[in-house]
Amino acid sequence: MTASRPGPNLSRIATSLGVSVATVSNALSGKGRVSGQLVERIREHAAELGYVPSQAGRALRTGRSGVLGLVLPDIANPLFPKIAQAIEFAASAVGYGVLIADSRGDVAAQTEAINRLVERGVDGMVIIPRRATRISSAVCPVAIIDTPSTPGNTVAADHWQGGLEIAGHLAGLGHCRVLIIGNNQESNVQNDRAGGIRSGMRPGMHSEALWIDRLEQENGIGCPLGLAEKVRQGFTAFATLSDLQALRALTELQQAGINIPADVSVTGFDDLIWSPVVTPSLTTVRMDMDRIAEIAVSALVDTIKTSSGREGVLVTAAIERVAMQLIVRRSSGPANLAQKTSDIENM
Indicate whether 192 and 48 sit together in one domain. no
Q: Tell me, yes or no, whether 235 and 187 share the same domain.
A: yes
Please check whether residues 49 and 175 belong to one and the same domain.
no
Residues 6+ apart with CB under 8 A from 115: none
Complete edge-to-edge strand list for the sheet that includes strand 124-127: 97-102, 67-72, 124-127, 142-144
Q: Are 287 and 303 contacting, i.e. CB atoms less than 8 angstroms apart?
A: no
Residue 198 and residue 149 share a domain: yes
* 320-322 vs 155-157, strand pairing mode: parallel
Q: Is 210 part of a structural domain of the chain?
A: yes
Whether 59 is in a domain gets the answer no
Q: For residue 1, is it within any domain?
A: no
User: How far apart are alpha carbons 164 and 239 in whole angstroms?
Assistant: 11
Residues 185 and 254 in one domain: yes
| 26 and 125 part of one domain | no
Do 178 and 202 reside in the same domain of the chain?
A: yes
Residue 187 has pLDDT above 90, yes or no: no
Cβ contact 165:324 at 8 Å: yes
Whole-model pTM? 0.77
Domain count, the chain: 2
Q: Would you say residue 3 lies in a domain?
A: no
Domain that holds residue 38: 10-53
- 237-290 pLDDT per residue, tens: 999 999 999 999 999 999 999 999 999 999 999 999 999 999 999 999 999 999
Same domain, 208 and 87: yes
Q: What is the CATH number of the domain that holds 234?
A: 3.40.50.2300
In this predicted model, what pLDDT tens digit does every residue of 52-77 receive, in sequence order?
665 545 544 455 678 999 999 888 88
Angle at 38 between CA 96 and CA 52, to 5 degrees: 30
Whether residue 268 is contained in a domain is answered as yes
Q: Which of 191, 208, 215, 327 is nearest to 269 (CA)?
A: 327
